[in-house]
Amino acid sequence: MKPSLSLPVLWLLFLTVCNPWKKQESLPEQPSQIYTGPIIDMHIHAYNHDIGGEMFGMDFPNPLTGKTYKGVKSPEEQMTETFKKFDQHNIVLALTSDGQLWYDNDPERVLISGRNMTTEELRGLHEQDKLHAIGEMAPFYEGLTAENDSLKSYFDLAEELGIPVGFHIFPGGAPGGIYMGDDKMRVKNANPKQLEEVLVNHPKLRVYVMHGGLPYLEDMKAMLYAHPQLYLDIGVVNWGLPKEEFHSFLKGLFDAGFGNKIMYGTDQMVWPETIGVGIDAINSAEFLTHEQKEDIFFNNAAEFLGLSEEHIQKHKTNQKR
């Protein structure tokens, strides 16, 4: 019979062979590469003079970053300049709120996300194969949350049709917007946990939190952990906040293991230059690998939208290098 090793001996052996306090030799850091492949933008707006028209010609001096963005002056200029940015940055698909206004101009690239419509109108668009999502749903501006009974029929329809919902989760509007006309907004209505009962009651529904759920990082991580069907986009927070704040939030999500749930979005309204600023904010994040950037810019959204392998390979084969 072989003699057994005593517990102290085993402990000493462990410390000798795999000392957990021994300083590990780290590999040299690899430079963060710039991603230039295909991009899916999950958060773009199209406007006409009836919806969003008050924003045309409006510059946005951002008090948080010190940058001022020049506003386009008409719906036609908004579309033209936005499409130029699509070409410049290799944006191959854009999920566009009110995208029916742009669809005929670029049906290969524009995906329609319907909003400000009745459920009957949305169903009609879907019957024409012209509805890819519902959103941006933003009851926040009316002082409402996701649990409000007035929204249930929209979640029911999205689940029935098998299309996703984009839901506004953010304390704005513009900084201080409560005192600039959006007086029904309340910070208490901006927490991602408001979606929990919606998700539980619609288990087949795909929802993505617009604006990433920032600044509620811990609550957003909890929601992603509990609800696998939940994703998020990072529209507006990638150009509207100081880059350090955005990077800190983004790193928190990656460190928690949710890098496969984050999708690129711009929330481009009447300031097309913000598209490039948002893309740079991700490319400049040195804690991200090239593969992780590709997930944010393309892979995660392709999975969330249910793109076919043929569709995915078409874009990746034609990507810029």
Examine residue 44 and state whether it is found in any structural domain, yes or no.
yes
- Mean pLDDT for 245-267 is 97
234 neighbors 263 (Cβ within 8 angstroms): yes
Domain of 55 in residue numbering reads as: 38-316
Is residue 271 one of the residues assigned to a domain?
A: yes
Q: Does residue 2 lie within any of the structural domains?
A: no
Residue 22 has pLDDT above 80, yes or no: no
Does residue 157 form part of some domain? yes
Share of the chain above pLDDT 90, in %: 84
How confident is residue 96, by pLDDT bands cut at 50, 70 and 90?
very high
Question: No. of H helices and E strands in the chain?
Answer: 12, 10
Which pLDDT tens digit goes with each residue over 269-288? 999 999 999 999 999 999 99
Which residues contact residue 166 at a Cβ distance below 8 angstroms, ignoring those fewer than 6 apart?
42, 43, 95, 97, 113, 133, 134, 135, 136, 137, 207, 208, 210, 233
Tens of pLDDT, residue by residue over 196-254, are 999 999 999 999 999 999 999 999 999 999 999 999 999 999 999 999 999 999 999 99
pLDDT confidence band for 32 (50 / 70 / 90): low
For residue 177, the domain's CATH number is 3.20.20.140
Burial class (CB in 10 A: 0-12, 13-18, 19+), 65: middle
| pTM for the structure as a whole | 0.88
Do the domain assignments include residue 52?
Answer: yes
Reported confidence tier of residue 317, pLDDT bands at 50, 70, 90: confident
Q: Does residue 11 fall inside a structural domain?
A: no
- What band does 24 get if pLDDT is binned at 50, 70 and 90? very low
Listing DSSP states for 153-169 in one string gives HHHHHHHHHT--EEEE-
Structural domain tally of the chain? 1
Q: Is residue 69 part of a domain?
A: yes
Given this model, what pLDDT does residue 49 score? 87
| Assigned domain for 67 exists | yes
pLDDT of residue 319: 57
